[in-house]
Amino acid sequence: MTRCHPLIPFDLEKNIGTNKYSVNAFAFLNAAILTLKFQVNDPHHEVDWPEQQKSERCDYLWENTCFEAFISSPNQRSYFEVNLSPSLTWNLYRFTDYRTPNDMPPLRVLEPALIQFEIEDRTITAKIDLNALKLVDQEIQLGLTAVIKTADSLQYLAVHHPKPQADFHDSMGWTIRLVPDAPK
């Protein structure tokens, strides 16, 4: 079953009544394929939505409007970060522990894990092959987040913010659990 996960601005009290846009995230698991979907409702065109270009890897996407997923298995310290830009640029990084290695840009995953990436209207959909991440046939822990660029700021949205500062790499914010289908 697919469940809607509204993304909440980090500083919600400060942003009450100011943001006229909203972001909802969805995630579901079908066999070894993780599908991520981010829907943006932006009736006043506040969100900077870059022009689409050739779909290719690009670093530092989080400096502009970018949708992210942090993927791990519960009780594992290693994790992956997926960055998806409305421009159709993307990246997939591997971390062995909290922000480790701390190189900039982070270490790219070389396996072809992103198997589909498309945008229709203000909805981004990506499909990731968990075989390439060696996360098949196990429970998946997810943090779904977004960096939203507007005319005057960058805003940080997530399903859950566990700290007094925005930190998408904190696994305490990865509150979504997906369990693979039982063998038939």
Report the share of the chain in percent with pLDDT over 90: 71
The reported pLDDT for the residue numbered 103 is 76
Has residue 13 got a pLDDT over 70?
no
Helix (H, G, I), strand (E, B) or coil at 114: strand
Has residue 14 got a pLDDT over 80?
no
The reported pLDDT for the residue numbered 20 is 84
Report the share of the chain in percent with pLDDT over 70: 92
**Structure tokens that stand for 145 in this block:** 């987040």
CA distances, 173 to each of 59, 76, 148 (Å): 23, 15, 18
CATH class of 5-178: mainly beta
Has residue 16 got a pLDDT over 70?
no
pLDDT, mean of residues 131-135: 92
- Closest among 2, 153, 157 to 67, alpha carbons compared: 157
pTM of the model: 0.92
- Closest among 118, 117, 141 to 129, alpha carbons compared: 117
C-beta of residue 62 within 8 angstroms of C-beta of residue 147 = yes
The reported pLDDT for the residue numbered 1 is 53
- Residues in Cβ contact with 105 at an 8 Å cutoff, skipping those fewer than 6 apart: 59, 60, 91, 93
The reported pLDDT for the residue numbered 183 is 57
C-beta of residue 4 within 8 angstroms of C-beta of residue 24 = yes
The reported pLDDT for the residue numbered 111 is 73
pLDDT, mean of residues 120-127: 95
pLDDT band at 109 (very low <50, low <70, confident <90, very high): confident
The reported pLDDT for the residue numbered 18 is 65
Lowest mean pLDDT among 11-15, 74-78, 81-85, 103-107: 11-15
Has residue 184 got a pLDDT over 60?
no
**Structure tokens that stand for 157 in this block:** 């949205």
Has residue 152 got a pLDDT over 90?
no
Mean pLDDT value across the chain:
89
The reported pLDDT for the residue numbered 40 is 97
